[in-house]
Amino acid sequence: MPVLGYHRAVAQAPDTWQVLPSGPIERLEDNLWRVEGELERGPIRRVMTVARMDDGRLVIHNGIALPEPGMAQLETFGTPAFLVVPNGYHRLDAARYKARYPDLTVLCPVGSRKRVAKLVAVDGDYDDFAQQPEVRLEHLEGTGDGEGAMIVRSASGATIVLNDIVFNMPHRSGLGGLALRYLTASTGGPKISRIARMFFVKDAAALRDHLQRLAKTPDLKRLIVSHHETLETGAAQALEEVAASL
């Protein structure tokens, strides 16, 4: 399965600065940016989200190693201060970021800490983050604390950043596309894929309740996921529908 193949590649990742193809840094808000990048195998695309706190420190969610011009641009946004490794399968560039920015505080969901720590030293979990009005981290209930959410508040509204618990990947062509659509149920989102249900959903009712609470976030503007497309409209409805599928 392509998704599982990606997980195996992550487990073998070196700590050298290795750049894979990626798109430009997209400015979503004055304090929020997004980058979509490729992986070595398969059609799965990954997403890095960067949020800036009011004091100029950056929170980097699901860090992607960019070419030097991209990294230089990122550094103009603020000071890289926190690296959020959003679960135990999203470690590909974590050690690279820590080597590049030794003062980074590395955070991950508490349920993923053992796996993440195999590749990079972990400083704390989401509960150890000093929550700010503009950037918050929280564990997702019903996932065994293996997944979480980052909530970013900007002048125009709130953005919720999720990881593997919700996919928003369009259908693909070919045999790989058929496998993603019918075997892993990963495409045609936003949705909870079959892989996410197997690996992360521990208590469906608790997760449903948490997603429904997130859907009621005041001034919710968008939903970012760590694979593929961002929802710039209808984020609350999408979360409600995903919750109802549990």
Give the CATH number of the domain where residue 172 resides: 3.60.15.10
User: Would the CA dihedral through 235, 165, 151, 204 be positive or negative?
Assistant: positive
**Is the CB of residue 191 less than 8 Å from the CB of residue 167?**
yes
* pLDDT in the model for residue 4: 43
Q: Which domain holds residue 12?
A: 2-244
Instruction: Report the C-alpha gap between 197 and 49 in whole angstroms.
Output: 24
pLDDT tens-digit map of 56-90: 999 999 999 999 999 999 999 999 999 999 999 99
pLDDT tens-digit map of 168-225: 977 777 777 666 776 666 778 899 989 899 999 999 999 999 999 999 999 999 999 9
pLDDT tens-digit map of 169-179: 777 777 776 66
* pLDDT in the model for residue 86: 97
Specify the number of domains making up the chain.
Answer: 1
Q: Say if pTM beats, i.e. exceeds, 0.85.
A: yes
